[in-house]
Amino acid sequence: MRILVTNDDGIFAPGLWILAKELKSVARVVVVAPDREQSATGTAITLRQPLRVQRVTPVVPDVDTYSVEGTPSDSVILALGKLTENGVDMVISGINRGSNLGDDVLLSGTVGAALQGYLRGLPAIAISIASADSHHLDNAAKLAALLAKKILAGTLPADLFLNVNLPDLPLAKIKGIKITQLAHKTHIDTVEEGHDGRREYYWLVRQKLGTNTDKDTDIWTLEQGNISITALHNTLFQKPPLGITDSLCSDLFQKLKQS
Ligand code: MN
């Protein structure tokens, strides 16, 4: 069994390597990730210039590791199409610094990378932690390993595309794991203008559109101190939830607390 690990924060992001290290207890791990920060590149792929790949020394031993001069989606397409000749069984993208919730999943490079695995028939998980400081990456890594184990054992069906977000809290302060829907119309990008002395410039600025109070949404659930799992195969592709049930969530949370 082999798991492809990628991200959009770049090949040396701490979240990527905590994830890779934990997943090594489940299966062989190969890391293929962008050579630099590629957050908010969504599903972008590079079609108008060549892609360069470099084998790099892994941060965690015994992990085949490649950095890609391209987007997260490029990395997964290259990994599955060229770099992993014996194939992989699953794609896990993250652990992202900062949450990927609501409509933002369409902008997220973390989710975009996982999508390329899903489109190629592989189970795919995007996993994020809701803080740029990310003090509790270990909870996310352990949860990813628990999910991966269930998928590889056949306890969960393989046709999954999950978006997982954790609050950046110690496990004792996390209430549980909930199945959620994507929140909608929560942010809007606006334009701020400035002048650098020679030319005008523009910044795109994210604006939050009020508080989300829909109780089954990912944003509300996370704000209440829960871990959110959204079945994107269900939400984006209108498939049944495929074994993502309330009892699975409480089972995962029990196991996470015991791990
Ligand atoms: Mn990112």
Per the domain annotation, does 47 fall within a domain?
Answer: yes
Does residue 140 or residue 207 have the better pLDDT? 140
3-state secondary structure of 151: helix
Q: Separation of 197 CA from ligand 1 center, angstroms?
A: 32
Q: Separation of 97 CA from ligand 1 center, angstroms?
A: 6
Per the domain annotation, does 195 fall within a domain?
Answer: no
For CA atoms 27, 22, 179, 256, give the dihedral sign: positive
Tell me the residues surrounding ligand 1 (ion) with CB < 5 Å.
Answer: 8-9, 39, 96
Q: Separation of 106 CA from ligand 1 center, angstroms?
A: 13
Per the domain annotation, does 199 fall within a domain?
Answer: no
Q: Separation of 109 CA from ligand 1 center, angstroms?
A: 7
| 33 pLDDT above the threshold of 90 | yes
> What is the mean pLDDT of the segment spanning 208-231?
90
- Which strands make up the sheet holding 161-166, listed edge to edge? 53-55, 64-68, 28-34, 2-6, 90-97, 124-129, 161-166, 227-231, 177-180
Chain segment 165-214, per-residue pLDDT in tens: 999 999 999 999 999 999 988 888 899 999 999 999 999 998 888 776 78
The CATH number given to whatever domain includes residue 94 is: 3.40.1210.10
Chain segment 245-258, per-residue pLDDT in tens: 999 999 999 999 99
Per the domain annotation, does 205 fall within a domain?
Answer: no
Q: Separation of 10 CA from ligand 1 center, angstroms?
A: 8
Per the domain annotation, does 111 fall within a domain?
Answer: yes
Q: For residue 258, how many other CB atoms are within 10 A of its CB? A: 6
pLDDT for 119? 96
Chain segment 67-124, per-residue pLDDT in tens: 999 999 999 999 999 999 889 999 999 999 999 999 999 999 999 999 999 999 999 9
Q: Separation of 39 CA from ligand 1 center, angstroms?
A: 4
pLDDT for 240? 79
Per the structure, the complete domain to which residue 46 belongs is given by: 2-185+212-258
Q: Separation of 126 CA from ligand 1 center, angstroms?
A: 11
Could you give the percent of the chain with pLDDT greater than 70?
A: 100
Q: Separation of 8 CA from ligand 1 center, angstroms?
A: 5
Number of domains in the chain: 1
Per the domain annotation, does 106 fall within a domain?
Answer: yes
Residues forming a β-bridge with 228: 165, 178
Per the domain annotation, does 74 fall within a domain?
Answer: yes
> What is the mean pLDDT of the segment spanning 124-143?
95
Per the domain annotation, does 192 fall within a domain?
Answer: no
pLDDT for 206? 87
d(CA 125, CA 123): 7
Q: Separation of 247 CA from ligand 1 center, angstroms?
A: 30
Q: Separation of 40 CA from ligand 1 center, angstroms?
A: 7
Chain segment 34-55, per-residue pLDDT in tens: 999 999 999 999 999 999 999 9
Question: How does residue 139 score in pLDDT terms, banded at 50, 70 and 90?
Answer: very high
Q: Considering the entire predicted model, what is its pTM?
A: 0.93
